[in-house]
Amino acid sequence: MEVIKGVGEMQEVSLHLKRAWKSIGLVPTMGYLHRGHLSLIEAARRENDIVIMSNFVNPLQFGPKEDFAAYPRDPDRDSKLAESAGVDYVFAPSGKEMYPENYSTHVEVKGPMVEKMCGRSRPGHFRGVTTVVLKLFIITQPDRAYFGQKDAQQAIIVRKMVTDLNVPLKIIACPIVRDADGLALSSRNIYLSSEERKQALTLPKALSAGKDMILNGETDPKRVQERIIKMLESSSGIRIDYVEVVNGDNLEELQAIKGKVLLAAAIYVGKTRLIDNIDLEV
């Protein structure tokens, strides 16, 4: 495995691989790898000749009051895990390498899918995501890019950008990986105290209760949403950011539960913001 820090060098390597007719799978990460990231690498390894993992904490997707400076980082550990999982190249640029002085170009998807859920709570977040992701696509030239289903809204927005801009690659959303207690894996889980982690478990339980309602025949999205909210409110340590029951393809509101459905929520447990979701076909 090789670690590459320069944009020009990574792009040169990628173009050389493409000229050799090698398929490339990209796993974009912000580092501090966990089993969820490793599952993306494993999927990329199965489906491509070459696997590139990016390791870059993107400042553009953090708001002024968010945890960019404190976001967990351990690049040496990340590289060891990446190599053991089968990564061929780690692209680990600096902030100045990605956004040099006088950088002024951004990529932004417009419309309701960006304005709700995390887009409403974190203004400008998805503009930062789509900007860095398109740069990574141009630099690494992947045939496929792998994202976690836990960030379902992000995957849907990136797929929309790729479609609108005719970017020649496939976006693949891989299943959520959970700890034994049901909590979705996240780099931010390390912020939780033992008591806060117990409280956080209400999130996957509430979403599962909503799913059970649908599987038992409930067709009113408002009733499912209310059930999830009620369960979350039963935990005194949780502050709700949002709870949504929406179309799983485009995040549009549902008049009735039918087709692909996404149950999604974001909460605060102490100072830690957690997201989770369940998608299903009805």
Tens-place pLDDT, residues 110-162? 999 999 999 999 999 999 999 999 999 999 999 999 999 999 999 999 999 99
pLDDT value of position 212: 98
Question: What CA–CA distance (Å, rounded) separates 89 from 4?
Answer: 7
Rounded to 5°, the CA angle 82-61-273 comes to: 85
pLDDT of 65 over the 90 cut: no
Tens digits of per-residue pLDDT, 152-189?
A: 999 999 999 999 999 999 999 999 999 999 999 999 99
Nearest to residue 268, comparing CAs of 244, 239, 235? 239
Nearest to residue 16, comparing CAs of 44, 50, 45, 53? 50
Catalytic member of 34, 37, 106, 125: 37
Model confidence, pTM: 0.96
Give the chain's length.
282
> Is 16 designated active site?
no
Question: What CA–CA distance (Å, rounded) separates 197 from 188?
Answer: 11
Structure tokens at 26: 């990209």
Tens digits of per-residue pLDDT, 229-243?
A: 999 999 989 999 999
3-class SS shares of the chain: helix, strand, coil, % to 5: 45, 20, 35
Model confidence band, residue 272 (pLDDT cutoffs 50, 70, 90) = very high
Question: What CA–CA distance (Å, rounded) separates 149 from 146?
Answer: 10
Tens digits of per-residue pLDDT, 88-110?
A: 999 999 999 999 999 999 999 99
